[in-house]
Amino acid sequence: MSNVHGRTKTVINNGSGGLWFAGFIGTLVYFLQYHSGSFALVMLAIIKALFWPAFLAYYLLKYMGI
Residues 5-22 have pLDDT tens digits of 667 777 666 677 778 888
Whole-number pLDDT of residue 62 = 93
Burial 42-63 (b: 16+ CB within 10 A, else e): eeebbebbeebeeeeeeeeeee
pLDDT mean by block of 10 residues, the chain; 66 residues: 64 74 88 86 90 89 92
Q: Which of 55, 30, 31, 26 is nearest to 41 (CA)?
A: 31
Q: With 0.85 as the threshold, say if the pTM is over it.
A: no
Whole-number pLDDT of residue 23 = 85
Whole-number pLDDT of residue 20 = 81
- Residues 16 and 3 sit within 8 Å (Cβ to Cβ): no
